[in-house]
Structure 1
Amino acid sequence: MRFLLDQDVYAVTARFLIEVGHDVILVAQIGLSRASDEEILKKAQEQKRILITRNRDYGNLVFVRAIGSGIIYLRILPSTVNVVHGELRRINKSVCSCRA
Structure 2
Amino acid sequence: MKLLLDQGLPRSTVQHLREHGMIVDHVAEIGLDRAPDEDIIAFARSRGQLIVTLDADFHALLVVNAPA
Global fold match (TM > 0.5): yes
User: Which of structures 1 and 2 has the larger relative contact order (alpha carbons within 8 angstroms, sep 6+)?
Assistant: 2
Contact 2:11 2:26 (C-alpha < 8 Å) held by counterparts: no
The amino acid across from 1:66 in the alignment is A
Question: How much has 1:13 moved relative to structure 2?
Answer: 3.2
Q: How does 1:63-82 map to 2 (within 5 A)?
A: 63-66=63-66
Question: How much has 1:12 moved relative to structure 2?
Answer: 4.7
Q: Secondary structure at the match of 1:31?
A: coil
| TM-align CA RMSD | 1.6
State the alpha-carbon separation in 1 of the partners of residues 43 and 50 from structure 2.
Answer: 10
TM value normalised by structure 1: 0.59
Q: Percent identity?
A: 39
1:16: which partner in 2? 16
Unaligned residue ranges in structure 2 (runs of 5+)? none
Question: How much has 1:61 moved relative to structure 2?
Answer: 1.3
Q: How does 1:1-100 map to 2 (within 5 A)?
A: 1-66=1-66
Question: How much has 1:64 moved relative to structure 2?
Answer: 3.4
Q: Which runs of 4+ in 1 moved over 2 A?
A: 10-16
Unaligned residue ranges in structure 1 (runs of 5+)? 68-100
Q: Secondary structure at the match of 1:18?
A: helix
Q: Secondary structure at the match of 2:29?
A: helix
The amino acid across from 2:25 in the alignment is I
The amino acid across from 1:46 in the alignment is S
Higher relative helix content? 1
Counting matched residue pairs gives: 67
